[in-house]
Amino acid sequence: MMNYMTLANLTKKYSRGKGDEIHALDSFNLTVKKGEFVTILGPSGCGKTTALRIIAGFEEQTEGDVFLKGENINHVAPYKRFMPMVFQSYALFPHMNVYENIAYGLRALKKSRDIIRNDVAMACQVVNLVGLEKCYPGELSGGQQQRVALARTLVLKPEMILFDEPLSNLDVKLRIQTRTEIKRVHRMLGITVLYVTHDQSEALSMSDRIVIMNHGRTVQEGTPEEIYNNPINSFVADFIGNANFISAEVEEIEGKRVTIRLQNRIIVVKQENPELSFSEGEEVYLAIKPEATGISSDKADFTGIVDTRSFQGSHTEYKIEFEGSFINIHQSNMGKEIQTYQAGDIINLKFDKDLFHLYKK
């Protein structure tokens, strides 16, 4: 696939007065291939929306360049970039029905009545709005309104669509339904998508590639599987997988094998990250995800004390006191005989040791 869009050393500075500056973006680089679905994921204030607004032409960068199909578009007006954006707020015209909202952009382009009728009908079919064309926004659910906003964009037949946290205003069930709809449309039409969110489940379920941002910079990028299974540092491990962090001390290093001790038990961790190196005696974080930690009814190598218990439907989440800190464990509720534990219970813990990661403190 060819590079459709490239961001080169994109920097955005804001003045706070008295000579102080805030870097919303700090030499941010990104490439998006034609037809790719790329998600920029990060906490609030990390710079992801600023990057999107600069790409769309709504804001001007302090430094750096935006290239579209190899051409520098730094000084190209937003309407000439032809990269429509779907916002968190639906921004529908309340006095226009669904048909009129979707047709608005085509009428602004002075398309013929037949073309408008044809293209609106096709857009409604793609996003499952057939039969709702005469309804007004106030008569629609949040998910339906967001589909109208998507159809209004699709009807313009863009090569690329920008999404700025479009599902934040929807409840959980509607979010899942709508993100499935967006991904289906992407696959059907082969449109290039740049999607911004702080929701890890959206990013993991929809993306071809994820870019993790923090403090205006890229921290890690890769496929959802790469990001989730091999976080590059403790920030990514915590943000994308809600990992547990256990303090430990390195006892021995032999090649890529790092030996540590927990509760007088030896654990050997494979260290595959070439960007990290450790030394004997160093204090480190041992990280493991809640779903890779379990409670054993049999005698196990490790023990902990239940602090709190929270029923979550498909699983129960336990907060466990372990090695002077707290870790979270998810226990499946599937099966006939599931033992439950209460605060103060001493329990046996089992870890999937192959899923441990080591990080600098």
| Confidence band of 317 (pLDDT split at 50, 70, 90) | very high
Structure tokens at 180: 């499935």
pLDDT in tens, 260-299: 988 888 889 988 787 788 999 899 999 998 888 888 777 7
Number of domains the chain contains = 2
Q: Which region among 57-61, 124-128, 191-195, 271-275 has the lowest average model confidence (pLDDT)?
A: 271-275
Instruction: Judge if 328 and 196 occupy the same domain.
Output: no
Express as a percent the part of the chain with pLDDT over 70.
Answer: 99
Residues 184 and 109 occupy one common structural domain: yes
**Mean local confidence (pLDDT), 205-232:** 95
User: Structure tokens of 256?
Assistant: 């890529």
Residue 219 sits in a domain of what CATH number? 3.40.50.300
65 and 129 assigned to the same domain = yes
33 and 125 share one domain: yes
Q: How far is CA 186 from CA 122, 172, 196, in A?
A: 15, 21, 15
Contact (CB, 8 A) for 321 and 304: yes
pLDDT-derived band at 336 (thresholds 50, 70, 90) equals low
pLDDT (tens digit per residue) in 149-167: 999 999 999 999 999 998 8
- Torsion sign across C-alpha atoms 351, 250, 231, 52: positive
The token duo for 12 is 């955005």
Same domain assignment for residues 229 and 351:
no
Give the pLDDT confidence of 114-142 residue by residue, as tens digits.
999 999 999 999 888 999 999 999 999 88
Q: What's the pLDDT at 300?
A: 76
Phi, psi of 27 (to 5 degrees): 55, 55
Q: Are residues 29 and 93 in the same domain?
A: yes
Predicted TM-score (pTM) of this structure: 0.87
pLDDT at 254 over 80: yes
Cβ contacts of 338 within 8 Å, gap of 6 or more: 316, 331, 332
Question: Tens of pLDDT along 22-48?
Answer: 889 999 999 999 999 999 999 988 999
User: Three-class SS of residue 100?
Assistant: helix
Of 180, 210, 234, the last residue of a domain is 234
- Per residue in 63-103, pLDDT tens? 999 999 999 999 999 989 999 999 888 889 999 999 999 99
Of the three residues 234, 268, 291, the one that is the final residue of a domain is 234
| Residue 22: predicted pLDDT | 87
- Is the pLDDT reported for residue 6 higher than 70? yes
pLDDT at residue 351 tops 70: yes
Domain check: are 137 and 73 in the same one? Answer: yes
pLDDT at position 291, please? 84
- Could you tell me the residue range of the domain that residue 60 belongs to? 3-234
Q: Is 229 found in the same domain as 253?
A: no
Length in residues, the chain:
361
Phi, psi of 142 (to 5 degrees): -60, -40
* Strand-strand pairing, 217-222 and 63-68: unpaired
Residues 37-67: b if buried by 16+ CB within 10 A, e if exposed:
bbbbbbeeebbbbbbbbbbbbebebeebebb
Pair (269, 203) in one structural domain = no
State whether 165 and 284 are in the same domain: no
What is the C-alpha to C-alpha distance for residues 166 and 49, in angstroms, rounded to an integer? 12
Instruction: Please answer whether residues 316 and 340 qualify as being in contact, where contact means their C-beta atoms are separated by less than 8 angstroms.
Output: yes
pLDDT at position 355 over 80: yes
The average confidence (pLDDT) of the chain is: 90
241 burial type by CB count under 10 A (0-12 exposed, 13-18 middle, 19+ buried): buried
Judge if 305 and 275 occupy the same domain: yes
Separation CA 133–CA 102 (nearest Å): 9
CATH at residue 249: 2.40.50.140
Q: Tell me, yes or no, whether 230 and 246 share the same domain.
A: no
Q: Which two tokens stand for residue 125?
A: 């079919």
pLDDT given at position 160? 94
Give the distance from CA 214 to its chain's centroid. Answer: 12
At residue 36, the pLDDT reads 96
Where is the domain boundary, 207, 234, 261? 234
Model pLDDT, residue 321 = 94
